[in-house]
Amino acid sequence: MTFLAELAINGALVGLMYALVASGIVLVYKSSGVVNLAQGGFVMAGAYLVWAYIARLGLGLIPGILAAAASMGALGWLTERLALRRMIGQPVIMILMLTFGLEVVLRGAVPGALGADTKPMPIPISQAPVWLGDILINRTYILGGAVAVVMVALLAVFFRTRAGIAMRAVSDDHLAAWAVGIPVERTVALSWAVSGAVAAVTGVLWGAVQGVDWSLSLLLIKALSVAVLGGLDSLSGVVLAGLIVGVFESVISGYVDPFVGGGTREVVAAVVIFLTVLIRPYGLFGREVIERV
Amino acid sequence: MRRWVYWVLVLVLAAGLAAVPALAQQKVITFGFPVDYTRVYVFVAEEWTQGMVDYLTLMNLKGGVGGYTFDWRVVDTGNEPQRGIEAYERFRREGATIFNFISTPVSNAVAPRAMEDGVILLMPFHGRSDAADGQTFPWLFSLGANYWSQATVIVQHILEAEGGNLRGKRIGLVHIDSPFGREPIPVLEELSRRLGFEFQSFAFPSPGTEQSATWAQVRRFRPDWVLLWSAGPSQSVGVREAIRNGFPLDRLVSVIWLDEKDMNIVGAAQARGVKRFEAAVPGREHPVVQEILQKVYQEAGKGFGKIENVGSTYYVVGIASVAPVVEAVRIAVERFGEPVTVDKIRAALEMVSNFDLNGLMPPITITPQDHEGGGMGRISQWDGSRWVPVTDWMSAFRDVVWEMVYKSSAQFRQGQ
Amino acid sequence: MGRGTEPVVRGATAALEAVAPSPAGFHGFDAPTLVGLVLYNAQHFGNRVALREKDYGIWQEYTWADYARHVVEMALGLEALGFQPGDALLILGDNRPRLYFGMLAAQLLRGIPCPMYPDAIPAELSYIARRVGARFALAEDQEQVDKFLSLSEGAESLSCILYDDPRGLSMYDDPRLISCDRLQALGREYGREHPGVVEQRVGAISPDDIAVLLHSSGTTGNPKGVPLTHRQALAAVRNAYTAGYFGQGEDIVAYLPVAWVGDFTFSVAAAAALRFTVNIPERQETVLRDLREIGPTLYFAPPRNWDHMLTHVQVRMEESGRLQQFLFKKLIPLAVELERERLNGRRPQGLLGLWRRALRWLGEGLIYGPIKDHLGLSRVRHAYTAGEAIGEDTFLFFRALGVNLKQFYGQTENAALTAAQTDDEVKLRTVGRPLPGVEVRISETGEVLLRAESLFSGYYQNPQATEAAFVDGWFRTGDAGQLDEDGHLIILGRVEEVVTTATGVRYVPQFIENQLKFSPYIKEAAVIGAGKPYLTAIICIDYDAVGHWAEGRGVTYTSYADLSQKPAVYDLIGEVVRRVNAQMPKELRIRRFVNLHKEFDPDDGELTRTRKLRRNVINEHYAGVIEALYGDAPQVEVAARIVYEDGRAGVIQRALQIRQVEDGP
Amino acid sequence: MFYRECGVRHTTYAADRALAVIPFERALLVLLIVLAAAAPWIVTDLFLVSYLTPWLIWTAAVLGLNLLMGWAGQIHLGYGAVMAVGAYTAVHVARAGAPFVVAVAAGGLVAAVIGSLFGLPALRVRGLYLAMSTLALQVIVDWILVQVPAISGGAQATLLVPRPHIFGIPLVTDQARYWTAAVFTLLVALFVANVRRTDVGRALIALREKDYAAAVIGINVFYYKALAFFVSSFIGGMSGAALAFLYYRAVTPEQFGLNVSIMAVAMVIVGGLGSIIGSFFGAGFILLAPIWIEHGLRELAAALSVHISPSTLAHLPLVIYGGLITGFLLLEPLGLAKLYDNVRNYLRVWPFGYTKK
């Protein structure tokens, strides 16, 4: 039982961290209907920047993270400004491919400039375990899960602000938003900037878990799964989806692995996605017929 | 804007296309190092290649071997087989006769070609473990303990640490879920039958940056020893999970892929006690490394990479993986005379005997049957700042290893 | 015979032997009738393509066997409906295979095919219908059927209206309507019931039967009927063939009106005698595009079409890329220069000549060839123009491209073929030598007189006109002309067009008008001056060319009328007028001109259907403008009468600018 | 300039829709085929082995994917898995002693069956959701490949591919392999080109535009979607097998991983959705550009004697390559095929600036 609980709790926390990556995707999707395949690259770049600001420039931890978040926000804004805005009206698959191209650029530019070898994320989290009775919980995950919840909550609050409401309006209907005087382009750019900043924070957490190198960009796949499962345009959906994916992966692989003698983790996630799509085609909380293919 | 992009494209592609293979010069032996700089082997490629190239540079600075100097071609393959094949075909036409891809998928994909073309393919610590079988794979050379040998050496160390009796002990294998990660399983199963320990494997999927569920299972197994079988970022994650789960680190033994940087990511102090398999002596004390530092870096300024890398774990692996070839060239000139051809080098490689580069690596003896060279290695331990050897060079359970080798190579021959 | 399973047609072939006994030599001249030639072709060349029509997006082909079968079936159908020898068959519509079949079917029955211009108005139709006492009519489609049905006066005799395209006609219940499909079905049935009838009919045709009844364009008054017999039509073809004017088996385009003599001579007579493949475009609007697909080997177009093509090329070149424009501007003048020298008998000499020839060769690949290809002219062996004088620029441009463009001269009365330039003797100002078999003489008054086997024998039921048209057995063409020292004919204009100003200066307005119209910006021009102290002009700008020119200079405009009154446009046209003036003697210079707010329009009677000016109409319509041209006012108010689509008429007031270009003597 | 269209007329609809209606293009096609056949004597064997052969086979694969993505409008992120199924099936069948052609066909067939499973979600979802579910299936297939040693070939997870024979003639030389690949790709290209011209092709296009609308006009959406997945997977499977036999000569799971699926999609998009010639361009670009950029940069750095650390030098090509993908999409969202079309149109209307109809 404790085994199950431990798997479930750790899984849930990891799932929340997935959800944090996915929230960056959702944010952009909500405002512009674009799925950003470069979100993994953003996370990696964010982590690299945090590392560089702290280890190379000697900034403190918090200033380093803030500076990185600001830089990533600028990068997100520039991405929208220079690339995505020119693709308005193109088929979804083209825009997907464009963001994929960005991902490739980031994966080359960032490690190429800052060094490809794995770097430690200089945040002081003790490796000592947190014991909850017999249950062991990873401190980084606790922090990660907490940050994820806070960030998603902040984002939810953000959507109640003026800019946030504008963003929701834009997500509903570009033209109508335009008609009532909402600066659609600026709003979309803002969502990219926020998503960039979120990626920086995500990068810190995941960098602390696995070290900083190019493989952070691989988080994209997991984040994409979570986002789709959640329904792509729902923040609460993303949180729930993250929890589901995290818990299922953890629990099922915990019980099944010994029998099949292999890591079933990814397959479990894949099966979850596959079944969801078959049963609930638009994710858990997604609006129906929102795809624009 | 539009034109600018077109021109860049045209220029770069044209330059790539126009890169005409230069004819090999006289009395030069060319190595091909199409390695994975950008993907899975990022963690090792830079230092390893640097070690290989710096050693060859040193040889050149010292006037070459038997009148022969060395040349090399380096390119990134991104761990993609088709890019590896392209680089192989290109470098081969540029005169390269000895290859090291530092990538298992690429090495394995190129192996059939190399054997057809008669080109030496080095596979130290990657590629096919059964390349040890020189009869089946005349052109492939492991030149170092393959993963089966590494597993036996580690078990031998555990056996010694436990006072020669493993009956009733539990040994777990935490491995990445890939062919590489699963490779030691049959050996460990065989050894568990022989030595009476209980064995269980725990897989985590690639890229292995999230192992909490795996380690929860490990904890349930309550192992006495854990073998860590992965590479790259997942290694530090694994060590961390071990720490968190309260597993004693001096009972955690890693495959060869664990180095100083991994320890720093975990936290150099926190990681104290972790053990690993070692196939070359890290550090800058060894005379050869000293010589490289002095001649290649300080005097000639021809170092291939960052000077900080010199003497790192993977750097010395690099030296150890070309040194026997250089030795073979020396033997070829001595025994077969000029001109030295790839066939002669191959034959000479099989005559390399008890070569240990003044103690930088375990003594290696290659025969036409044994392309692994004895499968020796040692266990070292992280003392918080550096790796300290805890055993001598050794090999163990050779019969188990060879059984695996022959089984696997037989399978290969079947498909031929 | 291709599809000779049908007894009707098999019967016809037997009878044919009697009509066209000997294919020795050039068979066309041994077989004296057109319909006989078609049947001959069907027998000997049954699988060759005779007609091609673009329909439903592809080229539907008719072999000679198909051709003959359709002709015979239609003829028998007509006979079944009571068509008698001497009956006229009115034919109305754009070029369609069925219309040609119908023409030959009428010939087979010794009837009189009477093709008419498809844009003819009911008044014209009823005049002709009354003159020929037509009982049968063949219409292309609903539009033309409607015209026949609307005829009341003069067409009481019309008892049977055949139509080709049934679209839109299913609900018509007029008993006179019969579809061609039904007609042919009737014909097949009739043929079965009357075996041997085809042979009889074929045997009965005489070469001196009327093969077609055309109507002269009638610049003045009502049209006059011009009957041409088989013998005359074929003689014209022979003359042209002997002169190397036609080859055998040419690919030609049938896009000019069926009622025009040229179409009859080319698409029916020559096609039958020389086994042309006649290609019919999908619609009038698609002619240019279809032309490219056809790639004719023999191509005729009136000068205005050539001008239009040149304008088209120039306009599109202006919109083209810099490289293309550069090449065009370098290579075209070179080719034009070389061609001019060639026509003047000079060949490029020396190194420079070699260099220019090399450039010419290069240009063929880069510019000339592609342009010819776009225009559909790359396979043309013979290209002709006639009807009026062609501008030197246009003429030289196409010859420079490598199109063997030549002029010829003819009239309806002589089956269109009187004189033509030959390959070796192309002179800019002449229309070439009279064809072999045609005698040409210039009367004392300067009028061109003709005598030829191809010449018609007299106007249809109009002895008065016939009397007036002949003098001593010579036909009076009504054209003023002269023969040069090489025997080439130079046409100056219509005899009656020679006009005299108040100061006694004689000139041919058309000649000056043509000079003006050689500019791409001027579509029509009327030079005024008869009985006036000096010359003035009414100009109709070319909407496309000037509009494009205006767009290139940022001149905004809303309509033709608006554009025509822009000062910048006046400057542009003024420049053209000045250039023409520069080539004229002082007393023939245009002093003032006006840009008209609309084009001259055949529907208003200002132009004939062949787009010749009707001066009297113009003088009448624009009396106010003309008056102002001879005053001092800088502008004039016009009351423009316009006819709406629904037939109502309205009046619009407009102010037209008048521009002075030349001071008085 | 070279396109001469005067006198090109069609007397049947079949001729009107022929593959190459303009004589120049027909000549070009013949020339290309002749050049392709003569390639072994024209290009260096490095070029033949390293570029032409894989490029052609990849093109065949991309044509299959393009059939699905470009014509039927279904996104597929698991094409690599389909190719893997084809490759592994073919290799196992061949190892069991079947001839090469049979093995490839078997690979295609099994891939088609399994690939049709990928299409199951397509019956319910479109766009991103379909992308994700196919991606999920890619993960599942990958996992099975790696997990089952009987499939992947034992501990080394490398299966040596038996030497292919065609009608008893062993394909040992590089030339023979190349020719086989060329013929294979030609056949696939002809097939796909002809599918486009049939009612099936038009039904697929209707599906792509709007499947509801297609259903309304009487197209059996279910059937055609399944058919599209089946046919595309069949081609993908055969291409995977061809890659294994004619190029890799040994199969490993890495040869058909998720990155390969993404690469295939990139080939389709960069080449141009729904374009046959674009498939050739896209495959060539995505496959060869990274390689040539890499070598090009290396040569440039050497020529300019700039010392760049090997790791940085290895990452630069990624930047350029990703930048090119991005740049192309920004400048020419319709892909390389559109670029080709631009050139073609430029020459077709030469010396004019545009087509006026």
The reported pLDDT for the residue numbered A173 is 78
CB contacts < 8 A (B, D): 161
- Residue A140 has a pLDDT of 84
In a domain, residue A77? The reply is: yes
What count of CB pairs under 8 Å joins A to D?
Answer: 152
* A–D contact: 3+ Cβ pairs < 8 A: yes
> Phi, psi (5° rounding) for residue C277?
-100, 120
* B262 Cβ contact list (under 8 Å, min separation 6): A118, B235, B236, B239, B271
Kindly state whether residue A287 falls inside one of the protein's structural domains: no
pLDDT digits (tens, 9 = 90+) for B168-214: 999 999 999 888 898 999 999 999 999 999 999 999 888 888 888 88
The residue ranking higher by pLDDT, C631 or D354, is C631
pLDDT of residue A289: 55
For chains D and C, tell me whether 3 or more CB atom pairs sit within 8 A of each other.
yes
Taking only residues 128 to 187 of chain A, the set having a beta carbon closer than 8 angstroms to any beta carbon of chain D reads none
User: Angle C117-C122-C125 (CA atoms, 0-180°, nearest 5)?
Assistant: 55
Q: Examine the pLDDT at D289 and tell me if it is beyond 70.
A: yes
Tokens 């490689």, residue? B349
Structure tokens at B138: 């005349």
Q: Alpha-carbon distance A261 to B130, whole Å?
A: 23
Residue A183 in any domain: the answer is: yes
Asked if the C-beta of B302 comes within 8 angstroms of chain D's C-beta atoms, the answer is no
CB D241 within 8 A of CB D60: no
CB contact (8 A) between residue A270 and residue D321:
no
Please, are residues D334 and D272 in contact by the beta-carbon 8 Å criterion? yes
Classify residue B8 by burial, with Cβ atoms within 10 Å: 0-12, 13-18, 19+.
middle
Q: What is the ipTM of this complex?
A: 0.81
- Alpha carbons within 13 angstroms on the beta-carbon side of residue C234 total 25
Residue B268 near chain A (CB below 8 Å): no
pLDDT higher than threshold 50 for residue C15: no
Number of folded domains that form chain A? 1
Q: Which domain holds residue A147?
A: 2-120+137-279
Strands (E), chain A: 130-132, 135-137
Q: Is 50 exceeded by the pLDDT of residue C23? A: no
Measure B380 CA to nearest chain D CA, in Å. 27
Asked if chain A contacts chain C via 3 or more Cβ pairs within 8 Å, the reply is no
With residue D251 as reference, give the H or E element that holds it: strand D250-251
**Residues of chain D with C-beta less than 8 angstroms from the C-beta of A283:** 129
Which residue is associated with the tokens 């918080």?
A: B384
C-alpha A185/C-alpha A32 separation (Å) is 9
Q: In a 3-state reduction of DSSP, which class is residue C113?
A: strand
> Are D351 and C57 within 8 A, CB to CB?
no
Indicate the pLDDT class of residue C13, thresholds 50, 70 and 90: very low
Across the interface, whether the CB atoms of D290 and B83 are under 8 A apart is answered: yes
The whole-number pLDDT of residue B1 equals 45
Q: Looking at the predicted structure, is the pLDDT value of residue C11 above 60?
A: no
* Structure token pair of residue C573: 């046209």
In whole angstroms, what is the distance from residue B95 CA to residue C653 CA? 91
Catalogue the long-range contacts made by A64-67 (C-beta closer than 8 Å, 24 or more residues apart). A65/A200, A65/A201, A65/A204
Domain presence at residue A51: yes
Residue C4, pLDDT > 70, answer no
**Higher pLDDT pick, C15 / C347:** C347
Here the tokens at position C482 are: 């002269």
Cβ distance C367 to D351 less than 8 Å, yes or no, reads yes
Please choose, from the candidates C437, C443, C422, C438, the residue with its C-alpha nearest in 3D space to the C-alpha of residue C486. Answer: C422
Q: How confident is the model at residue B381 (pLDDT cuts 50, 70, 90)?
A: very high
Cis peptide before C296, with omega less than 30 degrees from 0? no
CB A121 within 8 A of CB A50: yes
pLDDT bucket at B4, cuts 50 / 70 / 90: low
Q: By C-alpha distance, which of A170, A196, A198 is closest to A88?
A: A170
Best to test chain B binding among A6, A104, A117, A214 (most B CBs inside 10 Å): A117
Q: Do the domain assignments include residue A254? A: yes
Closest CA to D178 of D271, D293, D30, D43: D43
Chains with at least 3 CB pairs less than 8 angstroms from chain A: B, D
Residue A30 Cα, gap to closest chain D Cα (Å) = 14
For C203, other C-beta atoms within 10 Å of its C-beta total 12
Q: How far is CA C619 from the centre of its chain?
A: 26
pLDDT of C152 reads 67
pLDDT digits 0-9 by tens, B313-323: 999 999 999 99
The average pLDDT across B89-118 equals 92
**Inter-helix orientation angle D174-197/D276-303, to 10°:** 140
pLDDT digits 0-9 by tens, C448-506: 999 998 999 999 988 988 998 899 889 998 888 878 888 888 887 778 777 878 887 77
How far apart CA A34 and CA A22 sit, in angstroms, is 13
Q: Under an 8 A CB cutoff, do D5 and C58 touch?
A: no
Average pLDDT score, chain B = 90
Q: What pLDDT is recorded for position C217?
A: 63
- pLDDT for C383-407, tens place per residue? 999 887 787 888 999 999 999 999 9
**Chains interfacing with B (3 or more CB pairs < 8 Å):** A, D
Q: What is the mean pLDDT of chain A?
A: 86
Q: What is residue C24's predicted lDDT score, i.e. its pLDDT?
A: 35
Query: Least CA distance to D17: which residue of chain C?
Result: C58
Q: D88-101: buried (b, 16+ CB within 10 Å) or exposed (e) per residue?
A: bbbbbbbbeebebe
CA D212, CA C105: separation in Å to the nearest integer?
54
3-state secondary structure of C661: coil
Q: Which residue has the tokens 């929860």?
A: B216
* A36–B contact, CB cutoff 8 A: no
Identify all chain B residues contacting A116, using CB atoms and an 8 Å cutoff. 37-38, 42, 46
| Region of residue C408 (left: phi > 0; alpha: psi -120 to 50; beta: else) | beta
Shortest CA gap A121–chain B (Å): 7
Nearest CA in chain A to B235: A210
| Contact present, A237 and A143 (Cβ < 8 Å) | no
What six digits make up the tokens of A7? 């798997």
pLDDT band at D350 (very low <50, low <70, confident <90, very high): confident
State whether D356 and C316 contact (CB < 8 Å). yes
**Residue D111 or residue C554, greater confidence:** D111
Residue A254 contacts B where some CB pair is shorter than 8 Å: yes
Q: How confident is the model at residue C212 (pLDDT cuts 50, 70, 90)?
A: very high
Selected for mutation to probe chain D from B13, B73, B204, B309 (highest D CB count within 10 Å) is B13
Q: Which of A137, A120, A103, A106 is nearest to A16 (CA)?
A: A137
Distance (Å, rounded) from C-alpha C294 to C-alpha C95? 15
Which residues are C652's β-sheet partners? C640
Which of D146-160, D262-276, D291-305 has maximum average pLDDT?
Answer: D262-276
**Coil, strand or helix: which one is B276?**
strand
Selected residue of B75, B82, B306, B308 to mutate for chain D interface (largest D Cβ count, 10 A)? B82
Helix (H, G, I), strand (E, B) or coil at D161: coil
pLDDT, tens only, D55-87: 999 999 999 999 999 988 888 989 999 999 999
Interchain CB contact of B203 with A (< 8 Å): yes
**Does the beta-carbon distance from D49 to B74 stay under 8 Å?**
no
Task: Give the span between the Cα atoms of D145 and D85, in whole angstroms.
Answer: 9
Which of B300, B304, B332 minimizes the C-alpha distance to B68? Answer: B332
Domains of chain B: 23-145+283-376 (3.40.50.2300), 147-278+379-397 (3.40.50.2300)
Q: What is the CATH number of the domain that holds A178?
A: 1.10.3470
List Cα–Cα distances, C270 to C42, C63, C111, C266, in angstroms: 15, 16, 20, 5
Q: How many Å lie between the alpha carbon of D77 and the closest alpha carbon of chain A? A: 11
Which chain B residues are Cβ-neighbours of D295 within 8 angstroms?
15-16, 19, 75, 90
Average pLDDT value for residue range D214-227 = 88
**DSSP code of C457?**
-
| D248:B109 CB<8 A | yes
**Closest listed residue to residue D264, CA positions, set D86, D127, D79, D75:** D79
**Residue D18: partners with Cβ closer than 8 Å, 6 or more residues away:** none
The chain A residue lying nearest B270, using CA atoms, is A127
Distance (Å, whole) CA C482 – CA C443: 9
Give a yes or no: residue A132 inside a domain. Answer: no
The reported pLDDT for the residue numbered C19 is 37
Q: Report how far apart, in Å, the C-alpha atoms of B24 and of each of A61, A143, B15, B28 are.
A: 54, 58, 20, 7
Q: How high is the mean pLDDT of chain C? A: 85
Q: Which chain C residue lies closest to D8 (C-alpha atoms)?
A: C293
- How far is the alpha carbon of D36 from chain A, nearest alpha carbon, in Å? 31
Assess whether pLDDT exceeds 90 at residue D294. no
Helix intervals (H) in B97-207:
104-117, 147-161, 179-182, 184-195
**What distance in Å separates the CA atoms of residue A250 and residue A145, rounded to the nearest whole number?**
15
Q: List pLDDT tens digits, range A111-169.
A: 999 988 888 888 887 777 788 888 888 888 888 899 988 988 888 888 888 888 888 78
Option in D13, D351, D357 nearest C327 (CB)? D351
DSSP one-letter code for B254: E
**Which residues from D are below 8 Å from B130, CB to CB?**
155-156
Give the H or E element holding residue A259: helix A235-260
In chain C, what are the domains?
7-297 (3.40.50.12780), 423-496 (2.30.38.10), 498-660 (3.30.300.30)
DSSP characters over C132-162: HT--EEEESSHHHHHHHHH--TT-TT--EEE
How confident is the model over B11-59, as pLDDT tens digits? 666 665 555 444 445 689 999 999 999 888 989 999 999 999 999 999 9
Q: Does A218 touch chain D (CB under 8 A)?
A: no
In chain A, which stretches have pLDDT less than 50? 290-293
Residues of A in contact with B46 (CB under 8 A): 116-117
Residue A292 in domain: no
- Contact C372/D354, CB-based, under 8 Å? no
CB within 8 Å: D6 and C372:
yes
Q: What is the pLDDT of residues A5-26, one digit of tens each?
A: 888 998 999 999 999 999 999 9
At A79, the amino acid letter reads T
In a mutational test of the C interface, the residue from D1, D3, D6 whose CB has the highest number of chain C CBs within 10 Å is D6
Q: Please judge whether D273 and A91 are an interchain contact, meaning their C-beta atoms are less than 8 angstroms apart.
A: yes
Mean pLDDT across D212-234: 90
* C448 membership: H or E segment, kind and range: strand C447-452
- DSSP E strand boundaries for C153-269: 160-163, 177-179, 210-215, 225-229, 251-253
What span, in angstroms and rounded, lies between the C-alpha atoms of C63 and C80?
A: 26
Domains of chain D listed by start with CATH number: 1-42 (no CATH), 43-349 (1.10.3470)
| B416 pLDDT more than 70 | no
